[in-house]
């Protein structure tokens, strides 16, 4: 079977452009097919020419004020990994492999909470801007809603996303439960810069210390230059007001930087000459390097991509044509290029990028592939507009050593077995034994 194209595949217009069956992305573009049939699968049956599917005979359900997904899609939910013994502490993962497009529905945006989701009455909430300012200010939500707003589509990614890939053996789970601490939305809110101008920030100030109103009181330090550049006080997400789990009524948006900086339930912005040196910028979100020193304030999320379909724990039903589809992003700017490999990085084909391609946003990529039925290793590699390239796992480990935890952005490999089943694989790093510390990695969400 593996070397004999099916009846439908004979219609395929293009020869492979990279090893193991990768085809030219231009077959997706209208007008390049030359009348040939893009037959990815056989239809169920040849139906009689005039056979129509019969009509339902009873009225359907009534209207609703606010819609919900189909009960048939009830498996499309976030996996919740809560920390035992700490109420409301944990994470939930966006099921990336079950979604398509470049945006995440609000109900499925990943979450990271330290002490649960506070119920905040927007009429009582306040934002204060204080510290090294000439005019300390206090706003309620109604006052903030008077200011001019901007909208932008961008991702939020947890600095600890994909950290299971630091383990010495490949962890087997779905793409979303592995890499799903990244989501993308259209955010709308008030730019921070004019509010800082209004508060008359002292010339010596270099940091903005943001604090949330949850019981954990998450505190994070952000360079003033970034705050002035493109930070938003986000009030709307994908058109509607931000939901409680995303920071209602007010969230700080720090485009392209670590998710933890996007402080939810924002209540204080404190201007200072020095960072706060708070728990989540000292005991957490620092990285021990091979030379024994730790990196700190590693804000920007690097270039990263992964194939979401097909991906781990899926099974290809038969040899033939498939669309490889995935997400690429970089905190440094726009995605400029995504390449896909079906032979573990021996050869690469250019993927098609879905418009719009926006800075610090998720970009959907697609590439056509003909699976022969033999072993394959699927990978994607992104290059961003600054020229930064997503590293291989070997390159990442060479730079960062074996004590990494945050900012894992190496190429992801999905191995396809002869029966079509996909697993997570390491293909360019040697096998390692599993020391005890791996056992503790799940415990770090605290």
| Burial class of residue 80 (count of CB atoms within 10 Å of its CB; 0-12, 13-18, 19+) | exposed
Contacts of 446 (CB under 8 A, 6+ apart): 83, 86, 89
Among residues 65, 283, 431, 433, the one that binds its own copies under rule CB under 8 A: 65
Q: Binding of its own copies at residue 340 (CB under 8 A)?
A: no
Handedness of CA 406, 411, 412, 417 (dihedral sign): negative
Least separation, in Å, of the C-beta of 320 and its own copies?
8
Say if residues 266 and 250 touch (Cβ distance below 8 Å): yes
Whichever of 82 and 171 has its CB closer to its own copies, that residue is 82
Distances (CA, A) of 318 to 8, 40, 315: 13, 11, 9
Q: Binding of its own copies at residue 267 (CB under 8 A)?
A: yes
Q: Binding of its own copies at residue 69 (CB under 8 A)?
A: yes
Least separation, in Å, of the C-beta of 398 and its own copies?
35
Q: Binding of its own copies at residue 232 (CB under 8 A)?
A: no
Least separation, in Å, of the C-beta of 330 and its own copies?
17
Q: Binding of its own copies at residue 92 (CB under 8 A)?
A: yes
User: Among candidates 259, 256, 262, which has minimal Cα distance to 302?
Assistant: 256
Among residues 13, 14, 16, 128, the one that binds its own copies under rule CB under 8 A: 128
Q: Binding of its own copies at residue 223 (CB under 8 A)?
A: no
Say if residues 382 and 328 touch (Cβ distance below 8 Å): yes
Whichever of 184 and 397 has its CB closer to its own copies, that residue is 184
Stretch that binds its own copies, among 192-200, 283-291, 293-301, 422-430 (CB under 8 A): 192-200
Whichever of 358 and 415 has its CB closer to its own copies, that residue is 358
Stretch that binds its own copies, among 194-202, 297-305, 392-400, 413-421 (CB under 8 A): 194-202
Helix runs in 231-272, H state only: none
Say if residues 203 and 133 touch (Cβ distance below 8 Å): no
Other C-beta atoms lying within 10 Å of the C-beta of residue 240: 10
Q: Binding of its own copies at residue 263 (CB under 8 A)?
A: no
Say how many residues touch its own copies, by CB under 8 A: 132
Among residues 15, 85, 148, 283, the one that binds its own copies under rule CB under 8 A: 148
Stretch that binds its own copies, among 14-22, 352-360, 399-407, 436-444 (CB under 8 A): 352-360
Other C-beta atoms lying within 10 Å of the C-beta of residue 445: 19
Least separation, in Å, of the C-beta of 37 and its own copies?
5
Handedness of CA 232, 253, 295, 269 (dihedral sign): positive
Question: Which residue reads 């217009």 in tokens?
Answer: 13
Least separation, in Å, of the C-beta of 215 and its own copies?
4
Q: Binding of its own copies at residue 61 (CB under 8 A)?
A: yes
Q: Binding of its own copies at residue 4 (CB under 8 A)?
A: no
Whichever of 15 and 46 has its CB closer to its own copies, that residue is 46
Whichever of 138 and 346 has its CB closer to its own copies, that residue is 138
Provide the greatest CA pair distance for the chain: 79
In the region spanning residues 423 to 442, those forming contacts with its own copies, defined by CB under 8 A, are none
The whole-angstrom separation of Cα 329 and Cα 26 is 22
Q: Binding of its own copies at residue 205 (CB under 8 A)?
A: no
Say if residues 184 and 358 touch (Cβ distance below 8 Å): no
Two tokens at 283?
């005991």
């Amino acid at each position: 079977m593996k070397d004999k194209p099916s009846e439908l595949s004979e219609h395929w217009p293009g020869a492979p452009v990279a090893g193991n069956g990768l085809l030219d992305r231009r077959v997706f573009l209208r007008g390049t097919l030359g009348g040939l049939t893009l037959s990815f699968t056989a239809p169920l049956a040849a139906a009689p020419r005039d056979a129509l599917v019969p009509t339902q005979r009873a009225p359907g359900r009534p209207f609703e004020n606010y819609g919900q997904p189909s009960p048939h899609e009830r498996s499309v939910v976030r996996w919740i990994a809560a920390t035992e013994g700490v109420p409301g502490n944990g994470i939930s993962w966006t099921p990336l492999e079950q979604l398509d497009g470049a945006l995440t529905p609000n109900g499925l945006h990943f979450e990271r909470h330290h002490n649960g989701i506070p119920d905040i009455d927007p009429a009582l909430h306040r934002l204060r801007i204080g510290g090294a300012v000439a005019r300390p200010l206090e706003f309620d939500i109604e006052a903030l809603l008077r200011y001019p707003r901007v909208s932008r589509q961008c991702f939020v990614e947890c600095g600890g996303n994909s950290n299971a890939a630091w383990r010495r053996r490949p962890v087997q789970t779905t793409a979303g439960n592995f890499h799903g601490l990244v989501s993308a939305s259209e955010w709308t809110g008030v730019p921070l810069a004019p509010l800082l101008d209004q508060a008359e920030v002292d010339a010596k100030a270099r940091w903005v210390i943001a604090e949330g109103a949850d019981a954990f009181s998450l505190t994070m330090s952000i360079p003033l230059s970034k705050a002035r550049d493109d930070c938003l006080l986000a009030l709307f997400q994908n058109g509607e007001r931000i939901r409680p789990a995303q920071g209602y009524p007010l969230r700080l948006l720090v485009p392209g930087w670590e998710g933890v900086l996007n402080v939810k339930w924002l209540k204080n912005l404190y201007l200072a000459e020095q960072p706060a040196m708070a728990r989540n910028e000292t005991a957490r979100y620092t990285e021990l390097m091979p030379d024994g020193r730790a990196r700190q304030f590693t804000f920007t999320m690097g270039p990263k991509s992964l194939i979401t379909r097909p991906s781990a724990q899926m099974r290809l039903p038969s040899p033939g044509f498939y669309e490889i589809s995935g997400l690429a992003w970089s905190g440094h700017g726009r995605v400029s290029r995504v390449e896909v490999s079906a032979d573990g990085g021996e050869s690469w084909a250019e993927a098609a990028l879905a418009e719009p391609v926006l800075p610090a946003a998720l970009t959907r990529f697609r590439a056509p592939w003909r699976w022969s039925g033999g072993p394959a290793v699927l990978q994607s590699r992104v290059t961003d507009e600054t020229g930064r390239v997503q590293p291989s796992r070997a390159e990442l480990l060479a730079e960062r050593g074996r004590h990494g935890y945050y900012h894992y952005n190496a190429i992801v490999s999905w191995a396809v077995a002869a029966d079509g089943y996909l697993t997570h694989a390491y293909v360019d790093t040697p096998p390692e034994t599993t020391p005890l510390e791996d056992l503790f990695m799940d415990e770090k969400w605290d």
